[in-house]
Structure 1
Amino acid sequence: MKRSVARRFPAAAAALVAATSAGVVLAMPPASAAAGAATGYASQNGGTTGGQGGATVRATSGTQIHQALCGRAGSSTPITIQVEGRINHGNTTKVSGDSCETAAGVIELKRISNVTIIGVGSGAVFDQLGIHIRESRNIIIRNVTIQNVKKSGSPTSNGGDAIGMEKNVRNVWVDHATLLASGGESEGFDGLFDMKDNTQYVTLSYSTLRNSGRGGLVGSSESDTSNGFVTYHHNLYQNIDSRTPLLRGGIGHMYNNHYVDVHESGINSRAGAKAKVENNYFKDVHDALGTFYTDEAGYWQVSGNTFDNVTWSAPDEETNPAGPNPTSTTSVGIPYSYRLDQTSCVPGIVSRTAGANTGMRESDGTC
């Protein structure tokens, strides 16, 4: 199953910023922290509001993030945690309390709800430290960089996932994030944005995913098909081997994303999954869409996409590419409203808006 394709993984280039405060400080949320509302599938199932209506706390270390979670009146008490500085293993310890279940060496959001984590000021960089969401709901993560999280080597965190969700997770919105690795599995990394074991109603928007063997998956195996209802829009996938994403079962909606330099396979719909793929721009991509590395078929509905220098494999027992002339094999109904940008404008729009520290700008519908 391993594909031998040359990789080009430069070291992650995110700047490391120093912490600027020594303690957790209560503050009123600035307008930038309050702005924006969940889009896509995260807007369904009751919506995703995170810590809206709760206290706002400042954190400059992982330990302070855990302290903020543990200091709440209860595990569902709303809270917004404004993060600034470099969050790493050296400043992320386990904190105990009735409203939290934390761990050292990872930002642990376990059996909790109604939380927003947002980068402010000079930025928030989670360096070699992942965010793990388990048995939780109504979580928002915005304007953060998460880089070089490893599952092997040293130090390790979160099974090598930048953001990982598992076991009965509901309503997560990740927005204007920068997710980076410096290689693939052989270099110790896993996925940048993974969902498994009954994770539903998730949106990834205006984010950048770079320099990784694996962009992300929905479902950990062909039998893990209880996940789904995931929206990906206005994201940049660049210098990725595969999984942009890998979708096992469930429904995925991908629109207005820019895929650049994808080496092995892109959107991999399999095990009965249905992908609605609209107005995306694929540039220098191999096998942009299809069912790959399995004989358990997935399906897709396509419209308005641009395939620029895209190459396609020949079909075989475990390869069913959608191209070279992609046509729809299913129909997917979308329950929320959204506006499609013109496909030719997508590279420019995404370059201006995606990722952390971009002012959380969004498309205004113009090129």
Structure 2
Amino acid sequence: MVESADNLVLNNFTLKNSHTRNNVDSNQAETIYFNSSHRLIANNMNFISEQDTLLLKGYSWFYNTLVAGNVDFIWGYATAALFEESEIRTIGDSKYGSDVTSPGGYVLQARVQNADDPGFVFLNSDFTHGPGPLGTTVEAGSTYIARSGGNSSYYDNITLVNNTFGEHIAAVGWAYNGINGQPQPNPDPATANAGWREYGSMDSQGNALDLSARAGGYLLSETEVADYSTRASVFAGYNDGAGWEPQPLDAPVIIEEVTDKGFAGHNFDITGGAGGMVVTVDTGAKLTAALEEASNANTPVTIYVDGVITDANNDGSGRSIEIKDMDNVSIIGVADRGEFDGIGISIRRANNIIIQNLKIHHVLTGGKDAISIEGDDDGSTTSHIWIDHNELYSTLDVDKDFYDGLIDSKSGAKNITISYNYLHDHWKASLHGHTDDESSSNDRDRLITFHHNRFENIESRLPLFRFGYGHLYNNYYNNISSTGMNSRMGAELQIENNVFENTQNPIVSFYSAEIGYWNTSGNLFGSGVTWTTPSGSDVAAGPDATPTSSYEVPYTYTLDETSIVKSKVINHAGIGKIDQSDLDIPAIEDDNGGENGGGSNEGTDVTLPYSEDFSAADEDTFFSAAYKSLPDDSSMPLHNVTGGGSGIVVIAGQITLTSARFTIGDTLPETDTTDSDTTGRGVFDLSRPYKVLVDIVSVSDPDGDNNFQIYVDNNTSSSGKSWLGGSSKFYATLINELTIGTLEVEGPVASENSFIQLRTESGGTVTLDNFRIEYID
């Protein structure tokens, strides 16, 4: 219980009430009772119980947060409680027993004290379902969004705006006036200002829901929903109308050392290049030279990458970077700056190898694999390979065979661990064993561990596994369109505590001359999971995922509960997530043998007039220092994403922003500007009158209420968070009211060290070309 606290901030941890519901005891079991008329912020949190998970009063903001329970698990007397971009998960009710299906109960019960208080508001969130503590699942169509407390002295004020709902939610939505014996809500009927209200609801795939069967609620119009569409509007009444607009918090940097080395570290101390030569490189040629030097000297080598490796700055041969016929190698990215653009890594006849903290994408060199691992047909092995904390991707906007795999292995490659990687936007992700006809035992003895990886927007092969043994645990799958894990040719996979969302066929044995097997336990098949009917000899594990093998791995490891897997993986998988503070990383040697400190003083000329034609090959190039850099540090990019990066596309000399924002010339993009700043921290001299010009190519805003905005010396979405105050946002116009052609806007006089930010609000899209900043003479 929290009494009378104000501005309580909870960030990036889990509160769980482990009480298990039964038919004997009283089952009220909150994770938090906020008994205060003041403010609570829950950012990137998990609240897990079975009943009454959250009991709220006052003003609360839940952002990017999981709330799980099964009966009235969000309830109370809130003046205004906003749940934004969060997951509201109904779990199976333990009182019905273990491993059975139970009714879903009710998500909400509001007891709002004043008719005009916002009450409980849900914005851009997902209502999902999953198993309870005993494995109990939720029946389809059995969960109601809310029921009333049946008391005319308080109000059932709940508003739903642009949320998705899983199949567990009943078509009627609300438990209205007699449904399951529930009482009449207050008010009845609901109005635009009080009661149960709804706008823009979707199914779990993002398709608009047919709300004709809803009973007891009010469907808001586009005009009416404006009062519930932003933090500022929901919390406008705080402090006698002074208002409150809380902002998202960065997840704290919690360094979690990866101790589970899986098969790579089984009966082996995997050290990579430790104890040998150490060098930092920024080109492919320097990287190749360092590998050759270490190989010739037969010494371990650690190579730090601080820059963008390309085929062009290697030797232009179209070959991948080769770790071949050598052992004891580490290739590690520095911070988030180690990148392989269009070129991959080939590991062949090599042992004790670490590949860590690298972004590798759009690979067309060699066999077109981002990372290829193989032994040889002569019995040579490649073993004890650790692929950790990398980001690997291409695009789905090409034919499925345009690129090959992201992490593939074959021909005697074994004892491999693939951990904390982010694989996304690709067709065929991870193949292990390249043919059903492998006859050599060397080709069949593969041992591979996958743990804590994030797989998203991928068609298949996650992994495709022929022969051998695998261990897949605590991975997160989302938007997998064909198949996830595919066990083939007698392979046996131990599959534990993975989380699947919006995934077709999570675990199968498809397209194989002989089926493969699985020992499954504890996996969470969440919203949007579907199973197709197998054809011929194909086998799908679902929907019950019954084990077909008893295989268990021979090493020890730590298994996370599925309730925290999604948030843990999203927060820790990928690049820039490991602690390098205790590493002695040498400076880059220039071509003449001297150190350049990781960046030169020859950056982009930002003297006005300044222009940008968006001629980068793609958005990744556009946001790289290789394309344009800060004028005094060529290692730092001039352009930086500040929000909604997945909604930014650069192609054909134009940039498209959808629910996104980016800065031009901010020297501290990772630090939010504030109203306590004393001046700008950019690279443009905007200390005398100037104007911004940009060509509007196309616009789209289905909602009709989102703006295109231009800021100076402000990298947030809040106009007041700048030394310039509210004047930092000097242009804001409804997207649908923009005129195709050149937009010209005069900006407020700023400082000699200023920067610009462009933004489209949530749901809106604008395509731009030919951005300019010019003085007004």
Please report the TM-score for the alignment, with normalisation by the length of structure 2: 0.39
What is the alpha-carbon distance in structure 1 between the residues aligned to residue 488 and residue 315 of structure 2? 39
Q: Which amino acid aligns with 1:119?
A: G
- What is the aligned counterpart of 1:208 among 389, 406, 422? 422
Greater Rg, structure 1 or structure 2? 2
SS at structure 1 position matched to 2:529 = strand
Distance in structure 2 (CA, Å) of the matches to 1:240 and 1:104: 26
2:457 alignment partner AA: N
SS at match of 2:558: coil
2:476 alignment partner, one of 248, 258, 263: 258
Contact 2:295-2:326 within 8 A present in 1 as well = no
Distance of aligned partners of 1:229 and 1:191 in 2 relative to their CA distance in 1, 3 Å threshold:
same
Amino acid at match of 1:68: A
- Structure 2 contact 400–427 (Cα < 8 Å) conserved: no
Structure 2 counterpart of 1:269, from 481, 487, 494: 487
1:45 offset after TM fit, Å?
A: 4.7
| 1:178 counterpart (387, 391, 399) | 391
Aligned counterparts of 1:227 and 1:56: Cα–Cα separation in 2: 33
Q: Is the 8 A contact 1:197 1:227 kept in 2?
A: no
Question: Is the CA contact (8 Å cut-off) linking 1:248 and 1:270 kept in structure 2?
Answer: yes
In structure 1, runs of 5+ residues without a counterpart are 1-34, 95-102, 151-156, 362-367
2:500 is aligned to 282
Aligned counterparts of 1:348 and 1:232: Cα–Cα separation in 2: 17
| 1:62 maps onto 2:284 in alignment | yes
Does structure 2 retain, via aligned residues, the 8 Å contact 1:217–1:246? yes
Residue deviations 1:98-148, cap 9 Å, x none?
xxxxx7641111111100000014511100000001111111010000001
Tell me what 1:17 maps to. Answer: none
3-state secondary structure, aligned to 1:310 = coil
- 2:657 is matched with which residue? none
Distance 1:76-1:200 versus aligned 2 partners, 3 A rule = farther
Q: How does 1:332-343 map to 2 (within 5 A)?
A: 332-343=551-562
Aligned pair partner of 2:371 in 163, 186, 189: 163
Match of 1:351 among 539, 559, 570: 570
Query: How far does residue 359 in structure 1 lie from its aligned partner after superposition?
Result: 3.0
Distance 1:81 1:315 in 2: 47
TM-score with structure 1 length normalisation? 0.81
| Matches of 1:73 and 1:288, distance apart in 2 | 42
SS in 1 for 2:290: helix
SS in 1 for 2:560: coil
Worse-matched range after superposition: 337-346 or 178-187: 178-187
- 2:294 aligned counterpart, secondary structure: coil
Alignment CA distance shift 1:93-1:104 (3 Å): farther
Q: Secondary structure at the match of 1:324?
A: coil
Q: How do residues 1-367 of structure 1 correspond to structure 2 at under 5 angstroms?
A: 39-72=261-294, 74=296, 76-93=298-315, 105-150=319-364, 157-167=365-375, 168-183=381-396, 185-186=399-400, 188-224=402-438, 225-308=443-526, 309-359=528-578
Secondary structure of the 2:444 match is coil
Q: Deviations over 1:62-112 (max 9, x none)?
A: 111111111226464111001111100111129xxxxxxxx7641111111
Asked whether the 8 Å contact 2:277–2:294 carries over to 1, the reply is no
Call closer, same or farther: CA 1:165–1:346 in 2, change over 3 Å: same
CA RMSD of aligned residues (A): 1.8
Residues 74, 326 of structure 1: CA spacing in aligned structure 2 closer, same or farther, 3 A cutoff? same
Unaligned runs of 5+ in 2: 1-256, 376-380, 581-777
Number of residue-to-residue matches in the alignment: 313
Q: Which amino acid aligns with 1:160?
A: K
Q: CA deviation at 1:319?
A: 2.0
SS in 2 for 1:64: helix
Please state whether the residue corresponding to 1:194 is helix, strand or coil. strand
**In 2: Cα distance, 1:303 partner to 1:122 partner:** 35
